[in-house]
Amino acid sequence: MIDSISGVPARMGVAVLGLVLVAGAAVARPTEPATSAGKGGLIPREAIFGNPDRSGTQMSHDGKYISYLAAVDGVMNIWVAPSDDLSKAKAITAEKTRGIRNYFWAFDNAHVLYTQDNGGDENWRVYAVDVTSGASKDLTPMKGVAAQINTVSEKFPNEVLVGLNNRIPQLHDVYRINIATGEKTLAFQNEGYVGITFDDNFVPRFGQKMLPDGSMAIDKIGQDGKGELFDSIPADDTLTTGMSGFDKTGNIVYVNDSRGRDTGALFARDLTTGKTTLIAEDSRADVGGTLVHPTQKTIQAVEFNYTRAEWKVLDKSIQADLDYLKTVADGEINIQSRTQDDKHWLVSFMMDNGPVRVYRYDRDEAGKPGKATFLFTNRKSLEGLALAKMHPQVITARDGMKLVSYLSLPTVADKDGNGKPDTGPVPMVLLVHGGPWARDEWGYNPYAQWLTNRGYAVLMVNFRGSTGFGKTYVNAGNREWAGKMHNDLIDAVDWAVKEKIADKSKVAIMGGSYGGYATLVGLTFTPDVFACGVDIVGPSNINTLLSTIPAYWAPMKKMFSTRVGDYDTEDGKKFLESKSPLTIVDKIKKPLLIGQGANDPRVKQAEADQIVAAMQAKNIPVTYVLFPDEGHGFARPVNSMAFNAVVEGFLAKNLGGAAQPIGDDLGKSTAQIKVGADFVPGLAEAVQKAQSSGK
């Protein structure tokens, strides 16, 4: 897991818990005339959902190498080049089936580390690759174990701290592993902590544990490995409060904290004196990314994101750099890597209507602006295309809650780019994010571009329960699955109809994970609102969802009880049953398309199987696509494109937009059409074609 702004591994085990139901990479998100699509006709699915030319660009800590992910025989692998000559790039990994998604440089500058699972089962292994020889070593060769990278430090360039749940499936002990040899020694035996925070000396400093009331205790870990209470985080603050690292001395801990306030602000706490100092705050949004000096570990800038990302500079020594970078290219600035001497940065620029632009920035030692050199865009196929703008919208819910949302329109329907259709309402897709403890943000979104190009407006809504907007906002979603969280989505649709953006009779709901659940809720609890729905890896029964969580989520059990519902009591089970689409499946009367990964450890295949079976028992039409080599989301581009090909035909039939024919996309994937091929134009023929070719 890489911190997107500092380029160093994010610390594991902070008090802010990991997202629960976020779908994995590339969840989805007879041909109509091209005039109903975006300007210039249909953009091929391959251009949007195929492998990017390059992604995940990083620089080694000494600045000698630049690395990135790029395809080898269609599978994303790690490439490394001298930083001054990208033409000499070579692949140093050899993954054959499932592309690499997460990697980072070891501090020895001789190895790159990455994580990989098997078919989406999330039993991650950690691999180290020698940059020169390409030799790869599995540092965690254990079956059925979910490895978690905890900490790396420049003080121990040849080692990494990794959490392993090999002793007790529910808990991760932390091991110190030699990158070159794979030799490991126990650094901390975990007897009940959700996470353990180490400092740069590889010393365990704090442990976080959930308490029965949903609150969290922070223990200070002594030299004997035992913990004593250091701090407490009330249940209402657990998603907006947590430790985020230390300064160079290890005596200052940085804390994102919402206690005694609404939004999470950044504080520095002196562990010697106990003094706490406010560093940065925003009344509208929680603290987001931070820009940290690579060796001093001081916070130099802080990001806050309400409708758009805004950076507050704290260290004036980088002000000239950031001011200069604003003149280099349009879009939001993301500093992806910094060398240890801080002379070189890798900087990317995110736009809403174009590919990511990546630059190498060489700083001026005199404190003046340096020089940025353009390297590449991540998708050359998107350059020069007429892509849709993304318009931030703050929509007022029925009870006054302000919903930060994002609207994208087909370019042919919004020629002046003002966020209003030129000639009246258009079909719309309500695209619901996963989590639910996550958020939508401004920027290039492949699903928004794909759907607008096919002729649909796309509305993305940060319903209550979304993160980033303070604890009142996130806590307003407690026990509101299929309740006020769904009301927010309906209110957003009503807004779009009232503003003459959306055709009321042609609104679809689509999403992955929690967004898939929201889709099922939309078609059951509000069956007259949506024309159709697309559910990707969404749970249909909350009781069965929560009773089959991965073992290592068990320490977070009370969080689920507090925020979703208590699945251990009869009253709690009845409450959750009342919020489960499976309970009222007979209410469905609009077309439904379901996509599922067979290896999903979060939302098991049974969640899709049971609602499909219930619909079939009541003779309710449904189309069900299963991928035997995927987990919580579709990571393999061939599978993503196959499912999206089905989605295109499904939406075209029900909303009237454009669709690129399925073609060979189904046959190139592992897709299994379990039921309902006849309900999507061209799907039955594509299945027959794939079967006849032996795939």
Strands (E), 214-296: 216-221, 227-233, 242-246, 252-257, 265-270, 276-280, 287-292
Burial (CB < 10 A; 0-12, 13-18, 19+), residue 278, is: exposed
Query: Tokens in use for 486?
Result: 């769904």
φ, ψ for residue 312, nearest 5 deg: -105, 115
Token pair recorded at residue 36: 């109903």
State the distance between the two ends of the chain, measured CA to CA, in whole angstroms. Answer: 35
Phi then psi dihedrals of residue 365, to 5 deg: -65, -15
**632 classed as catalytic:** yes
Catalytic residue among 408, 513, 640, 669: 513
| Active-site annotation holder among 111, 172, 391, 632 | 632
**Surface-to-core class of residue 388, CB atoms within 10 Å of its CB (0-12 exposed, 13-18 middle, 19+ buried):** buried
How far apart are the C-alpha atoms of 79 and 540, rounded to whole Å?
41
Compute the distance between CA of residue 569 and CA of residue 453 in angstroms, rounded to an integer: 48
Cβ contact 44:529 at 8 Å: no
Token pair recorded at residue 130:
């020698």
The residue whose two tokens read 């689409």 is 581
Whether residue 111 lies in the annotated active site: no
d(Cα 655, Cα 503) in Å, to the nearest integer?
Answer: 10
- Among residues 321, 600, 629, 665, the one annotated as catalytic is 600
The bridge status of strand 171-178 relative to strand 159-168 is antiparallel
Contact between 639 and 75 (Cβ < 8 Å): no
Complete edge-to-edge strand list for the sheet that includes strand 357-362:
332-338, 344-350, 357-362, 371-377
DSSP assignment letter at 652? H
Q: What distance in Å separates the CA atoms of residue 100 and residue 645, rounded to the nearest whole number?
A: 24
Q: At what angle do helices 637-655 and 683-692 cross, to 10 degrees?
A: 150
Distance CA 467, CA 654 (A): 32
Burial class (CB in 10 A: 0-12, 13-18, 19+), 436: buried
Q: How far apart are CA 147 and CA 182, in angstroms?
A: 14
Strand bridging mode 502-512 / 426-432: parallel
Closest Cα partner for 107 from 268, 395, 263, 340?
A: 340
Catalytic residue list contains 232: no
Which sequence positions are flagged as catalytic? 513, 600, 632
